[in-house]
Amino acid sequence: MTEEVAQITEPTFLDRITSLLEYDASSPLIFNSGLFLFLFVGFMAGYRLLRRATSLRIIYVILFSIYFYYKSSGIYFMLLIFASVSDFIIAHEIARATSQRLRRWLVAASVAINVGMLGYFKYTNFLIEIANSMFGAGFLDFQNIFLPVGISFFVFQSMSYTIDVYRGEIRPLERWTDYMFYLSFFPQLVAGPIVRAKDFIPQIRQPLMVTREMFGRGIALIAIGLVKKAIISDYISLNFVDRVFDAPALYSGFECLMGIYGYALQIYCDFSGYSDMAIGIALLLGFRFPKNFDAPYKSATITEFWRRWHISLSSWLRDYLYISLGGNRRGKWRTYLNLMLTMLLGGLWHGAAVRFVLWGALHGVALALHKAWLAVVPKAKIAGRDMHPVMRMLGIIFTFHIVCLGWLLFRAESMQEVHLMLYQIFHNFNTAIIGQVVAGYGVIFAMIAAGYVMHFMPERVDMKLSKKVGEAGFWWQVALLVVVAWCVMQVKSSDIQPFIYFQF
């Protein structure tokens, strides 16, 4: 009888195919899953067959990208199509408009549509929460609104296109399929990098060419990204960082401090790991993305940090928000205000919660203070690269801890949790148990140490290793990916862990 039931309930081949086509909210399609690897191999076979048929290849990639986004956000893939149609039409109208006033109204319409779409899905309940705190609980009812994965990324990307057309930096595309390809390109669709139209669009209709250097570099970046995300980030998160942040009162100040250091490494490995894989996959498809992370914890000043961390977002905020507000052209006090507004909005971009606003405010204040310091001490270095080695080391330590304070605000669920973590660190550090804690979390601390060693490795060593992978034969490169995949299988939890920035 048991065998008969098993035969009845066992999924058929058709059931498995159907499950591939259906959206499952509990199992989004992400790079570090076996399903993506399986689908990507099949996709690459078709992609290579269409290497000489440019228009068909573009449509083929669009269809796969829409499917990829559907598997992440379900029916909300329609938002992506809506944004592509809306801004494609508006860009053409901007280019045709003869009146500067009409051009301004059109670009304002593009910004309003994109920001309105983002605001509804991301900030409606946040605004309701604020209204209820002001006028009493129950003043407004919370809405059941699903946040589509990666909406913040493709909305910013689409806005940059219409703004660049308005500024005369690019001409509008003639084919909607080319714009849809740009906006939906799956490697960077759900978590960046935020690729500029002027950098990406010229590559769309170029003859497909993947050099040996591009292929090797792509394999190396995918392997590095998997190690960062699926081995280091996920392991220290599940086995240490999450436990400390969930109940900081149960841990000593030393463990709370190590939890913050661990989270700093976790979020870097998680997000830069995704960026590495996105850039690597794009290289395998013949496209080049700009670097999104440049060893940010090597920064000796907060200004240098924002030139190294999430480069595509920080440069977007600089070019489309900070400069639009006036940048540093209207006096020092207006410069400080512009920095604060830019970082506050940058914090709010990350999430609809007070802690993200406070995180943005901390970085805004730090950037303003550094700008003021540069005015007082003209010989001070913005990036700190030319500092005396001792001063640079001190600057790196100081900047890292300012950033870690920000990560505490970013990760903690409430200000009470922030206060409790800081109280434990400053009043209950308990140095006597450090040896016992390190021994008890030996694998965790070894992995954290290995992660930071990788991060602070000289750039020339990283480039040398990447070059070695690029010069290796095809089967050696395949063997590298197999070894990395095996290592991932040894340390992974029962469930695939989504990327942190999927929620943004």
Q: How far apart are CA 438 and CA 275, in angstroms?
A: 31
CB contact at 8 A, 116 and 151: no
Alpha-carbon dihedral angle through residues 180, 182, 188, 194, given to the nearest 10 degrees = -120
The residues, any chain, with a CB within 8 Å of residue 31's CB and separated by 6 or more, are 225, 229, 274, 277, 278, 281
The amino acid sitting at 206 is: Q
Closest of 327, 310, 332 to residue 403, by C-alpha: 310
Q: How far apart are CA 317 and CA 315, in angstroms?
A: 5
Tell me how crowded residue 157 is: count the other CB atoms within 10 A of its CB: 28
Tell me how crowded residue 451 is: count the other CB atoms within 10 A of its CB: 23
Continuous H helices in 74-139: 77-96, 100-135
* Tokens 């480039």 found at: 463
Tell me how crowded residue 29 is: count the other CB atoms within 10 A of its CB: 21
Out of 310, 350, 363, 455, the active site residue is 350
Q: How far apart are CA 71 and CA 214, in angstroms?
A: 28
Closest of 189, 127, 188, 154 to residue 357, by C-alpha: 127
3-state secondary structure of 359: helix
CB contact at 8 A, 165 and 94: yes
350 is catalytic: yes
Q: How far apart are CA 296 and CA 418, in angstroms?
A: 24
Closest of 213, 231, 239 to residue 484, by C-alpha: 231
* Tokens 């935020």 found at: 194
CB contact at 8 A, 150 and 502: yes
Cα 28–chain centre separation: 16
CB contact at 8 A, 226 and 499: no
Residues labelled as active-site residues? 350
